Structure 1
């Protein structure tokens, strides 16, 4: 028993206990073309469903995404009224998911890491499920935080500003989503995540920078350049092992100590 306790104490404690992943342009590359189709659908929705002049749509999309993290959240903030499910059905439900193919390499990488794995996406649950299914990763994650997790049916917000409102102050959106710090804090509570023991993967530099403020260790996917708030940077999610070798090092050390422990306990000592 003394030997067992001694070796148990020698097993190294991993720096991480959870891996938190964005979905779009993170688990699959931007080059797949799916995001471009999503953007096209958003613009079409704005024209056909919200009667926004086509000449203004592109500029609006860029600005709303910049201000709010998603065009949807921005549209809500400035007073547009629409049904959440209808929006997601139009924007995500018509996507050419056949662009995505099974990714056995990523599946193997994820399965080789004995850490809890959680999805954290601004997209709706149907889209997340479809993407994970197409990539063959449906059984790789322990929990999913998505649009429905953070948002109940939202109400229209009065976007008009009072005469006393400071110039430049953005109207608040009723939609909770990244890169809002509130979205991260809610996700932590829902999935019982300790941010100080969690590695976060996302393609958005704004999401990454907010994540860093919450205590998460960050991995910027889609770029090899380090910026403020970025702990690790990798061009492809397939480069996890090269970019964050400590994940596997801690696993291997733990296995080595456990193996030594087993041998020491089972080997009889002769007087």
Structure 2
């Protein structure tokens, strides 16, 4: 459920004609009051704490997928996973980039299908904070739709967001074959240990954070203005990319501000204290709304 800031225009009756009073000055004041019209937030480790253990289990499942489904040697798993995450934003995006052929849905089902969602509990504090904030709210996650839906349901935040932009939003369905393409895999570990100036790192077909292209595409899909948007994320890289495209940024999970973060919060529970002006001005604007009563001027003939 989303609350929009709106103004109703009263009609004033003068004798035999109607005149629409637009209250332009009031509209202008609203634009000044609501510097931010959009709440743009990450999902995992942002709406719930890292201590939930979801992230650790997710990484464990990714490593198992690489071992069992892609046949990657166990001794290379950790290093390869870390390198791909660093250079491509997600391990999945990196695996596609260096030549591994797999189905997106199969990957997501394996990695997210066994997560301990029972560790996530309803969060009435965040629920009330979000519902009381009169701006449009959008989730932007690298995760798939099924995972996002499960997380929001477990947290009881399903009605708090207007839109969810997920993996499927930015990426068309994959087509994979069962062929063994191990001979075509780009050896990124060897390349990084001894870079060849004549060889470029392969590009990934997957759009995901912290890619500027992915973030700009998500903003276009959601039809929101980065200059009037507050962006919450637990990833430093994502925050810095967000700042680069003009978002007002809030790093979640620490109180230590880093380059690119306008604010830093230990938890979203703290956002009203840190950004209290949003709620204060919202409440004030409700009190300042012009009356919608219809005054009638009558002509008296003496």
Same fold (TM over 0.5): yes
Cα deviation digits, residues 41-99 of structure 1 (max 9, x gap) = 00110110111111211111111111111100011111111110000000001111001
2:291 to 256, 262, 268: 262
- Alpha-carbon distance change, 265 to 127 in structure 1, aligned in 2, over 3 angstroms: same
Structure 2 matches for 1:1-271, cutoff 5 A? Answer: 5=23, 8-9=26-27, 11-13=29-31, 14-154=34-174, 160=186, 166=197, 169-258=200-289, 261-262=290-291
1:264–1:6 CA distance, 2 compared to 1 (3 A): farther
Following the alignment from structure 1 to structure 2, what is the Cα–Cα distance between the partners of residues 176 and 211? 15
CA gap 1:46/1:250 in 2 versus in 1, 3 angstroms: same
Structure index of larger Rg: 2
Query: In structure 1, what is the Cα distance between the partners aligned to 2:24 and 2:36?
Result: 23
Contact 1:154 1:174 in 2 (8 A): no
Tell me if the contact between 1:218 and 1:231 (Cα under 8 Å) persists in the aligned partners. Answer: yes
Aligned residues of 1:155 and 1:174 also touching (Cα < 8 A): no
C-alpha distance in structure 2 between counterparts of 1:42 and 1:75, whole Å: 11
Aligned length: 265
In 2, Cα distance between equivalents of 1:227 and 1:22: 18
Root-mean-square deviation (CA, aligned residues, Å) is 2.6
Structure 1, unpaired ranges of 5+? none
Distance in 2 between the 1:174 and 1:48 partners?
A: 23
Answer whether contact 1:10 1:257 (CA < 8 A) is retained: no
Bigger Cα displacement from structure 2, 228-237 vs 1-10 = 1-10
Asked if the contact 1:12/1:250 (under 8 Å) is kept, the reply is no
Are the counterparts in 2 of residues 4 and 265 from structure 1 also a CA contact under 8 Å?
no
Q: Displacement of 1:256 after TM fit?
A: 2.6
Structure 1 Cα separation of the partners of residues 251 and 143 of structure 2: 19
Query: Partners in 1 of 2:132 and 2:125 — Cα distance?
Result: 11
Does the Cα contact within 8 Å between 1:34 and 1:97 map onto a contact in 2? yes
Q: Give SS of 1:176's match.
A: coil
Displacement after TM superposition at 1:9 (Å): 4.5
CA displacement at 1:255 relative to structure 2: 1.7
Please give the TM-score of this superposition, normalised by the length of structure 2.
Answer: 0.81
Q: How far, CA to CA, are the matches of 1:6 and 1:15 in structure 2? A: 17
Aligned partners of 1:9, 1:151: CA distance in 2, in Å? Answer: 39
